[in-house]
Amino acid sequence: MTDNTYGEGNAPRHIEALFIRNIESLRNDEVRLVMRDRLEPYPVDCVNWEAYPYAPRVNVRVAHSDTALALMFEVEEEHLRAVTTTSNGPVWEDSCVEFFVKNPAGEGYFNFEINCIGTALAALRRSRTDADHFDEERMARVRHFGSLPHEPIDSVGEGQRWWMVEIIPFSLLGVESAPQSLRCNFYKCGDGCRKPHFLSWSPIPTAEPNFHCPEFFGVVDLV
């Protein structure tokens, strides 16, 4: 049985992803309902850098089938910002959630980033600056849907909420079926928001904000 703890201090966190058969085949409303009702929410709440103390309320729910990984982020923040509408653009400057995962089939790691209106970025990376971005065909295979329409937004006010679901086929990670576990991290950022912020699920003990740190990824067991 996996130790479903979040770690202590700077220790990497460790959780489980529940098996939900054929989740990738369910309708959007069915996916959200089953994930909301059956999965535990895990907080993305590590404020790693004192210079950026603002912490929106964020959690992530994680599930998998035989062939895909499903993530649902739920966010409450005071500035909803999304100006990037083109794939592989600077979505991290907007109200953005991110999933980084070590390549289960080889070297490097993947990063999947998506702003609150559903504009996505995806790449296989060797470092923060060395990446192969997904082409249109691979981008289209990442299914995502959320609570906001795909149009620019810039809204300020306490307690603004949004959610986003992503379903990532394991084949995009270079494997055909669910591995036993994944080394990964989940993030919430908003570089261009009124209060820039850089939250992580598993802690990152670096001097400056940097999400591209696979050495500090936590563990998700696929059960």
pLDDT of residue 9: 63
pLDDT of residue 6: 52
Q: How far apart are the first and last CA of the chain?
A: 9
Does 2 reside within a domain? no
**Mean pLDDT taken over the chain:** 95
pLDDT of residue 100: 98
Does 1 reside within a domain? no
Does residue 104 register a pLDDT over 70? yes
Does 90 reside within a domain? yes
Of 74 and 6, the one with more pLDDT: 74
Does 3 reside within a domain? no
Does 8 reside within a domain? no
- For residue 83, is it left (φ>0), alpha (ψ between -120 and 50) or beta? alpha
Does 5 reside within a domain? no
Q: How does pLDDT run across 183-215, given as a tens digit for each residue?
A: 999 999 999 999 999 999 999 999 999 999 999
Span 70-83, mean pLDDT? 98
Does residue 2 register a pLDDT over 80? no
pLDDT of residue 1: 32
Q: How confident is the model at residue 11 (pLDDT cuts 50, 70, 90)?
A: confident
Q: How does pLDDT run across 19-61, given as a tens digit for each residue?
A: 999 999 999 999 999 999 999 999 999 999 999 999 999 999 9
Which CATH number do you get for residue 112? Answer: 2.60.40.1190
For residues 217 and 125, is the Cβ–Cβ distance under 8 A? Answer: no
Q: How does pLDDT run across 154-182, given as a tens digit for each residue?
A: 999 999 999 999 999 999 999 999 999 99
**What pTM value is reported for the model?**
0.95
Does 155 reside within a domain? yes
Alpha-carbon gap, residue 204 to 207, rounded angstroms: 9
Residue 154 lies in domain:
14-222
Q: How confident is the model at residue 8 (pLDDT cuts 50, 70, 90)?
A: low
- State the greatest distance between any 2 C-alpha atoms of the chain, in Å, as a whole number: 44
Does 61 reside within a domain? yes
Alpha-carbon gap, residue 173 to 223, rounded angstroms: 18
Of 139 and 9, the one with more pLDDT: 139
> Domain count of the chain?
1
